[in-house]
Structure 1
Amino acid sequence: MPKLHYKAVWLSDIHLGNKDCKAEYLLEFLHNISVDTLYLVGDIVDMWQMEKQFRWPEAHNRVMHKIMYMSNNGTRVIYLPGNHDAPIQKYAGMTFGDIQIEREIVHVTAEGKQYLVLHGDQFDTDVTLGKFHAWIGDKGYDLLLFLNRWYNRFRAWRNRHYWSLAGYIKQHIKGANKAIERYRTAGCDYAKAKGLDGIICGHIHHPESLMVNGIHYINDGDWIENCSALVEDMSGELSLFHFNEYLKQKATVSVLADFVNGNQAA
């Protein structure tokens, strides 16, 4: 991967501390870029999962060190905490070291377009169908990640590239598509009410970029199943980066984090 420089990069839903975090993939991406402004768009650390079972592999530590190194060496880092790292929300408006904490912020591209940036858990009340359905959805997602984990271990054993089985299954579930549509609409309505050109968010682990009623909606995805980021080049063009597409161009196959670390427990 050639060293690339970006005006801005957006990362969300890394979920450090979670067994499904693809920290090695993210490290490879970060080591091969430089960036003026790095937006951490929530759920960077999975405090929910860590309350259940503390897990912090060396690769997750290296991600944190890499971000801090970037913040100390010319990159402006803005952290917009989400629901899985909610305790950090109370520090919005403050700066810790060289990292700025905000709940939401407006980014202006090189072309002068204004985008609202926030995690997206603010729109949960517009999406949820009730506590019981939310619980069912949470358990269903855990199952999807379990299947995704073992499916890609099998692919790695067969010398095949990573592929998001969880993402594929989600795209074919009617209820999931309806929830994504509600979320997308809520976000665009919020940005439109503020008189902005678009919205950049995460939260639902579904990367996409499209126009909705005159508002540019962009979800930068996640590093649990899709391994994606949003990047802005120096001309102001916004595009989604998919790490699995990068892997396809490599001569060798990168194995999954669990195999690299020797943590093969389900």
Structure 2
Amino acid sequence: MKKSNKRKVEIVVISDVHLGTYGSKAKELLNYLKSIEPEKLILNGDIIDIWQFNKRYFPKSHMNVIKQITSLLSKNTTVYYITGNHDEMLRKFKGFKLGNFKIVNKLTFNLQGKKAWFFHGDVFDVTMKHSKWLAKLGGKGYDLLILINTFFNWLSGLLGYGKFSFSKKIKNSVKGAVKFINDFEKTATDIAIDNGYDYVICGHIHQPEIRVFENQKGKTTYLNSGDWIENLTALEYNNKEWSLYEYSKDETLKAISKKKKKKNKEKLKENEILFNELLKEFNLNKS
């Protein structure tokens, strides 16, 4: 995408990309990152899935996301990598700085007189605190479910039916049960109010949201950046306002994506024609 077409954004927050897993929508994220010119990019945890990292599966599209983030760094974007549970190994490097790149466990900003508090959110997760092995097993099961879901939707598309998300439905049910016990959002917002934060920005639970929470002590705005597995969402801050970006509603990027797919098909067709001509030249037939 040409530089002149890029949207200027003061702050962009993405989380839960899970690069290195089958469910990660790296191509869509790359399209989004190429469409923006942020002053600050906050990677709010679980960007690379170190829990499930497998050197046999780290496709080019996943590497391209890392390259694009590096490209943004070279264009004076400040990048903060906030550690999450799936990339918790990076916590030992807390405080690391290299140019405009920083690794932290949490982050605070003053945004036009309002205090903002950024962190991944696993610190409030009951499954992380008491049963890390269960959380890791759940991560692998979720990745398998994404694979099954992908095959189901491919088959459903061939039969002319729409897409359905088993994983999202099951995850929402499970998260509802966890929320009943742990109440992630209430815990985060209560602590934010106690500490005088106007905004509390998390990831972790894959539930994009912007909502005001209020208790007897005051109120705060809770924001969750969602994920790049199913929701394909990000948070954007511009002109003193937060908004939720949804890839599914970005008609410009969807049109560009369709154009790329069409071009790739044409390229494959052209390659096939050239190969067939080569076979003819050598008097060979495809078996």
Unaligned runs of 5+ in 1: 261-266
Question: How much has 1:127 moved relative to structure 2?
Answer: 8.0
Q: Percent identity?
A: 34
Map of 2:79 onto structure 1: 77
Which residue, out of 237, 241, 248, partners 1:244?
Answer: 248
Question: How much has 1:41 moved relative to structure 2?
Answer: 0.4
> Distance in 2 between the 1:247 and 1:152 partners?
22
Contact 2:109-2:116 within 8 A present in 1 as well: yes
Which residue, out of 28, 34, 42, partners 2:45?
Answer: 42
TM-score of the superposed pair, with normalisation by structure 1: 0.81
Which residue, out of 222, 232, 235, partners 1:227?
Answer: 232
Q: How does 1:35-114 map to 2 (within 5 A)?
A: 35-51=38-54, 54-109=56-111, 111-114=112-115
Query: Cα deviation per residue 1:195-252 (whole Å; 9 max; x = unaligned)?
Result: 111210101111111112222111101111111100112x121011111122598458
> Distance in 1 between the 2:257 and 2:120 partners?
32
Point out which structure has higher relative CO (alpha carbons under 8 A, 6+ apart): 1
Task: Name the structure where helix makes up a greater proportion of residues.
Answer: 2
TM-score of the superposed pair, with normalisation by structure 2: 0.76
Query: Cα deviation per residue 1:180-199 (whole Å; 9 max; x = unaligned)?
Result: 46111121122223211121
Map of 2:178 onto structure 1: 179
Unaligned runs of 5+ in 2: 265-287
Contact 1:208-1:221 within 8 A present in 2 as well: yes
SS at match of 2:113: coil
Count of residue pairs brought into register by the alignment: 252
Question: How much has 1:135 moved relative to structure 2?
Answer: 7.2
Contact 1:128-1:134 within 8 A present in 2 as well: no
83-92 vs 133-142, which moves further? 133-142
Contact 1:41-1:80 within 8 A present in 2 as well: yes
Question: How much has 1:71 moved relative to structure 2?
Answer: 1.0
Contact 2:123-2:129 within 8 A present in 1 as well: no
Question: How much has 1:152 moved relative to structure 2?
Answer: 3.9
| Letter matched to residue 93 of structure 1 | G
Query: Cα deviation per residue 1:36-58 (whole Å; 9 max; x = unaligned)?
Result: 0000001111111115x641111
Map of 2:221 onto structure 1: 216
RMSD of aligned alpha carbons:
3.2
Map of 2:206 onto structure 1: 205
Query: Cα deviation per residue 1:29-80 (whole Å; 9 max; x = unaligned)?
Result: 01111010000001111111115x6411111111101101111211010000
Map of 1:29 onto structure 2: 32
77-86 vs 148-157, which moves further? 148-157
SS at match of 1:47: coil
The structure with the larger Rg is: 2
> Distance in 1 between the 2:17 and 2:135 partners?
21
